[in-house]
Homo-oligomer: A and B are copies of this chain.
Amino acid sequence: MTKASGVVALLTDYGLQDAYAGTMKGAILSVNPSARIVDLTHDIPPQDVREGSRVLAAALPYFPAGTVFVAVVDPGVGTDRAIVGVDIGRHVFLAPDNGFLGFLQDDVRRIIRIAESRYFLKPLSRTFHGRDIFAPVAGHLSRGADLGRFGPSVKTMKSLSHAKPRVLRNVVEGEVVSIDRFGNLITNIPGTLVPGKVRITVGRRTLTGLSRSYAEAPEGRLLALVGSTGHLEISVNRGSAHKTAGVRRGDRVLVTRSRR
């Protein structure tokens, strides 16, 4: 990796209600007292590797070169699943080998199976590798340790099948992949596939055209726009599209090129 910046960004499903995330931070600082720890989020829905992966991919471009990303969404903890360290040059990542980092694809320069147990905390728990493995290794990486110190090189890692929109003649079919705190429906349809003259159907609701901002629609009315991750989003000006449209994650979204 590029020279370590000292920044360690954390993404987990631990939540903030318990002290799991806080304890990981103590364990990182125990190795690198100068680490600059940033919470990306700890509210990934429990065990939702796909959502965690989507969130990390969207946030990635905004972090300084030399950031260590620690992604712990780990339903397989305590089984024989591996932990991988992945170097893309600009950044290094630690995650369970469960497909989480598959989205990095062609940017990957090196994959290490994290196996050098002398860097792990003792006693090593079976349920909290975030504290006992990920944290100390991240601490070392953030001080500039080379990833290769932590285990053998491996050729591949698991990947996930992310639902991709289907593109037909006049129609793009995708789905709602996430609903944010505001009730905005975030789809997997890239903005580049959505023309200006368009009809969008989600649930029982249909809307026409793309807006440029939330405030372009009257309060309470559904609107569609290209959101901050570059994907189509359905929102309600000063309201919640999730509540207004009664739509849930996984629901289908149709984008039809409109003649009117």
Contact = CB atoms under 8 A, between A and B. Distances in A.
7 smallest CB-CB distances across A and B, nearest first, come from A78-B213, A128-B228, A15-B181, A26-B63, A22-B40, A26-B62, A125-B228
Interface stretch (A30-38, A101-109, A148-156, A199-207): A30-38
Contacts of A38: 22, 25-26, 29, 37
A16 B43 contact: yes
Interface of A: 5-7, 9, 11, 14-20, 22-23, 25-27, 29-30, 33, 36-43, 46-47, 55, 58-59, 62-64, 67, 75-79, 121, 123, 125-128, 131-132, 180-182, 212-216, 225-228, 230, 233, 237-238
A96 to B, nearest CB: 12
Contact of A17 (B126, B180, B228): B180
Nearest to A213: B78
A215 B79 contact: yes
Given A9-B26, A26-B38, A77-B213, A127 B18 contact: no
Contacts of A181: 14-15, 17-18, 46
